[in-house]
Amino acid sequence: MIKNSLRAKLESGKPVFGTMMQELRSPAVPMILANAGFDFIFIDMEHGAHTMETVADLIKVTRLAGITPLIRVPDLQYHFIARCLDAGAQGFMVPRIETRKQAERAVSYSKYPPMGERGCSINKGHNNYKGDDLLNFVSNANEENLVILQIERKAAMDDLDNILSVEGVDGAVLGPNDMAVSYGVPNDLNGSLMNGIFEKVLETGRKYGVYTGMHIANLQKLVEWKNKGMQLITYNTDIGFLNAGAVQGLKELR
């Protein structure tokens, strides 16, 4: 099983940079993003239109391009997590996490016994279709794959210590839009409420050795929180890049 280069960078204390692939299905996209210098891609199954077959193909190309494929699964269910990892994803993110029990289930679904309950099939995409020693493979997989929780609900903030202290949780990524909706406030990224939330997630992550980050299109805010210590920097989406390029080009032409 290949090493997870994203985990190695995070462990070294470096920030890592990725984006969200929601709409485009071409195998050229991971290659273009790799050429641009991204460290990882979230292939989005929550808001994206991707089927499992499409996701499996995109994972293969992303691995071959030399960057880390991560999946935002649509829901906290075993078959979403296990099938994506079998296909070769080197980690996943579960949206809408609110409780410690949910965090424990996310870890359990992704780890082989005795750490979890994932079923084992070695010669799949996660091992480049090669065989391996059973115990060696299981140990490496349990160590290398990243378990990331999306923190985007008031309920999660109310119980953040219990959630991020779960053994096996590697990362926590903020979703500011959903967080603002959950609190019933505008998404004011410069306001005291949202910045207090960002600070609490960062500090709680540090307390439990959990890498933290944020997914937004606002470059200034991403730079600000990267400089404060967030490492999982997720910038924009494929749709956002298309919109921004089209709007800017036409603005100048007209």
Amino acid at 196: G
Residue among 142, 192, 138, 146 nearest 173 (CA): 146
Other CB atoms within 10 A of residue 19 CB: 22
d(CA 209, CA 226): 16
Tell me the fold of 5-253.
TIM Barrel (3.20.20)
Q: What is the pLDDT along the chain (254 residues), one digit of tens a residue?
A: 899 999 999 999 999 999 999 999 999 999 999 999 999 999 999 999 899 999 999 999 999 999 999 999 999 999 999 999 999 999 999 999 999 999 999 999 999 999 999 999 999 999 999 999 999 999 999 999 999 999 999 999 999 999 999 999 999 999 999 999 999 998 899 999 999 999 999 999 999 999 999 999 999 999 999 999 999 999 999 999 999 999 999 999 99
**pTM (two decimals):** 0.96
- What is the residue extent of each domain of the chain? 5-253
Provide the Cα torsion 16, 150, 211, 215; round to 10°.
30
